[in-house]
Chains A and B, each alone.
Chain A
């Protein structure tokens, strides 16, 4: 078993001492010698102007380096109301504006998944979102409720609270459900790309959490700039090299307010679910060892596995199990998957899931079981 006894391990102590003794950071910007306002990367101080240039440049070059978008391409932006996706909208608005250098050439639509049925105190979030996107930014907006198109036996809120026993399973169900709804909107609106605001700090925590749940086969896909799990809609992650701290700083300097900061895990504590644990771990480590996130990324990028050509019906990733092993035979589970995850256009003959999704399904109890209580 791998174990480090921290007191005894010399290498670990040496690293820790080096981190503690690092010389005080200079207060002048590394590029232009003005007063610095923020420290980025390992220990690089930057003034406001240089930081904003750095931030915007990282965003634009990530997009243009890879020639991701075609001219006039219809693109769907996934807006969650949180700080990353709000910053994303702001940057895209700048990039689309007439005066922009190397102007972005796609047609932007915005999707918002309304999760307010899952929280006890839902406010007028829809109005705020509409005001921001339709009135101020003037993009076509598509709002879909997370319970969209579900029959009465499959009320999503009920499935989460009564039939799913762990917060981990709830988070994972919500995550997959949101992605499926976003794909649906994109296909319906003829958008060939889906842009998300996932930043690298969150992605690093997601990678570790996925590995802990048996989804290691897909981590290279989850942290990639372009994610082609869906044949019609490619996911693009332009913030994949941007840290959550940088986004927070950019938002503050530009008075960009996020509309929603709560989700089902809010206030539950750092040990309430696997993702909460890994997010805490990544942030804790990053404080002392600033290359934590980039190391997680570099490593995950290299993890390839031979995968089947067929896709999982829950998460849409290529299957990591054989045809027989991935087949779902339980009637109730098949119905659940069809209700929550099947593309609105198709009926499914047989349902296949990957290893991690199969484990996830085990945490959702059948209807008959919960009714007995």
Chain B
């Protein structure tokens, strides 16, 4: 499944300073959710310091997640099932501007 991941607000520093990451998730029996995406990201994308991005099975509080520019709290959060070509943005709001 093809997705676009975007990072902002400093989160990109954890992913090779790259703000946009087009990715292809391998086919899976169970549908991909944000929860499983995070696991995949930790294993395949996170260059360093996973504890600065992931806490437990979710993102660290202070990191806002938008799916196609919609707040993930409106979309079942971690259980949201990813669709082809979804755009997922992770914005860090930590140490404010």
Contact = CB atoms under 8 A, between A and B. Distances in A.
A339 to B, nearest CB: 27
Contacts of B61: 280, 283-284, 286-287
Contacts of B93: 83, 201, 244-245, 247-248, 283
Contacts of A245: 64, 93
B13 interface: yes
- Describe B's contact surface by its main secondary structure: mixed
Contacts of B62: 244, 279-280, 283
Interface in B27-64: 49, 51-52, 60-62, 64
B74 A279 contact: no
A27 B74 contact: yes
Contact of A82 (B14, B60, B96): B96
Interface stretch (A98-106, A264-272, A295-303): A264-272
Contacts of A262: 10, 13
Contacts of B95: 202, 263, 265-266, 275-276, 279
A248 B13 contact: no
Among B10, B61, B73, B97, residue most surrounded by chain A Cβ atoms (within 10 Å): B97
Contacts of A86: 97
B96 A244 contact: yes
Contacts of B89: 252
Contact of B74 (A39, A261, A287): A39
A2 interface: no
Interface in B64-79: 64, 66, 69-71, 73-74
A253 interface: yes
B5 interface: no
Given A25-B74, A38-B70, A248-B91, A84 B96 contact: yes
B94 A269 contact: no
B49 A269 contact: yes
Interface bracket on B: 20 to 34
A318 interface: no
Given A245-B64, A261-B9, A25 B96 contact: no
A37 B71 contact: yes
A85 B97 CA distance: 6
Interface residues of A, number: 45
Contacts of B49: 267, 269
Contacts of A269: 49, 51-52
A358 to B, nearest CB: 26
Given A261-B10, A266-B10, A252 B91 contact: yes
A83 B73 contact: no
B80 to A, nearest CB: 12
Contacts of B73: 25, 39
Interface string A284-313: 101100000000000000000000000000
A287 B9 CA distance: 19
Contacts of A342: none
Contacts of A80: 97
A248 to B, nearest CB: 5
Contacts of B60: 270, 283
Contacts of A280: 61-62, 94
Contacts of A81: 97
Nearest to B63: A283
Given A36-B74, A37-B71, A198 B96 contact: yes
A249 B94 contact: no
17 contacts: A25-B73, A27-B74, A36-B70, A39-B71, A45-B74, A83-B9, A86-B97, A202-B95, A202-B96, A248-B91, A261-B13, A267-B49, A269-B49, A269-B52, A279-B94, A283-B61, A286-B61
For the complex of A and B, the 6 pairs showing the least CB-CB separation, nearest first, are A82-B97, A202-B96, A84-B97, A261-B10, A283-B62, A244-B93
Interface of B: 8-10, 12-14, 49, 51-52, 60-62, 64, 66, 69-71, 73-74, 89, 91-97
Given A248-B9, A266-B95, A267-B13, 18 more contacts: A27-B74, A37-B70, A37-B71, A38-B71, A83-B9, A199-B96, A201-B96, A252-B66, A253-B69, A261-B9, A261-B12, A261-B97, A262-B10, A266-B13, A279-B62, A280-B94, A283-B62, A283-B94
